[in-house]
C-alpha cells in the first residue's frame, strides 16, 4: 500500500482505494494511485503545474470528472503527474480547485506500465468515516 492508497483485486481493470483526512486529500491520493499505476513516479519531476477547476452536483461526478481530466492531460498532452493538491468546497454544488504538477513524458526516462483509458462509475464509492474519507474507483485499462 502507498501512503494514502492501495490497489484492489479486479479481473481486468485498475481498481484502487484512496484515503484522506479531508475529501481533498482523498482526491489527491486518487490521482497519485492513478499515476503510480501508469509509471514510476520517482522519475517524474514537478516541472510544470496545471490548474484544474471543476464543479458538479454530486461527489461521484466530481471524482469522475477529476480523474477524467487527469487521463485527458495524460493522453492529449502526454503529461505525467506526481504532485497533487486539491481543495473541495460545497456551496450550492461541489467545487474542486486542484493543482497538479509533473512533466511531459520522456520515453528515455519514463517507462509506461499501464494504459488507463477512462474512469468509470462502476463500483465507485465515496464515504466519510470517523478517520476521514475513503474512495474506491475502477478505471478501464
Q: What are phi and psi of 25, to 5 degrees?
A: -65, -35
Asked if the structure places residue 3 within a domain, the reply is no
Domain region containing 96? 13-140
Tally of structural domains, the chain = 1
Report residue 63 as a C-alpha cell.
471524482
The pLDDT assigned to 31 comes to 98
pLDDT in tens, 4-25: 999 998 877 999 999 999 999 9
Average pLDDT over the chain, rounded to an integer: 95
Asked if the structure places residue 25 within a domain, the reply is yes
Q: What is the CATH number of the domain that holds 78?
A: 3.55.10.10
Asked if the structure places residue 7 within a domain, the reply is no
The pLDDT assigned to 1 comes to 41
pLDDT in tens, 94-121: 999 999 999 999 999 999 999 999 999 9
Residues 132 and 80: their CA atoms lie apart, in Å, by 27
Query: pTM of the predicted model, to two decimals?
Result: 0.95
Residues 141 and 45: their CA atoms lie apart, in Å, by 24
Asked if the structure places residue 104 within a domain, the reply is yes
pLDDT in tens, 39-71: 999 999 999 999 999 999 999 999 999 999 999
CB 70 within 8 A of CB 34: yes
Asked if the structure places residue 1 within a domain, the reply is no
The pLDDT assigned to 12 comes to 78
Amino acid at each position: 500500500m502507498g501512503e494514502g492508497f492501495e490497489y484492489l483485486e479486479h479481473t481486468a481493470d485498475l481498481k484502487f482505494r484512496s484515503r484522506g483526512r479531508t475529501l481533498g486529500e482523498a482526491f489527491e491520493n486518487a490521482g497519485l494511485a492513478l499515476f503510480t499505476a501508469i509509471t514510476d513516479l520517482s522519475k517524474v519531476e514537478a516541472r510544470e503545474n496545471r490548474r484544474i477547476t471543476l464543479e458538479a452536483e454530486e461527489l461521484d461526478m466530481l471524482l469522475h470528472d477529476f480523474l477524467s481530466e487527469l487521463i485527458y492531460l495524460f493522453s492529449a498532452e502526454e503529461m505525467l503527474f506526481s504532485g497533487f493538491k486539491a481543495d473541495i468546497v460545497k456551496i450550492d454544488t461541489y467545487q474542486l480547485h486542484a493543482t497538479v504538477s509533473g512533466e511531459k513524458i520522456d520515453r528515455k526516462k519514463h517507462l509506461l506500465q499501464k494504459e488507463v483509458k477512462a474512469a468509470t462509475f462502476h463500483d465507485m464509492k465515496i464515504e466519510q468515516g470517523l478517520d476521514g474519507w475513503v474512495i474506491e474507483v475502477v478505471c478501464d485499462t
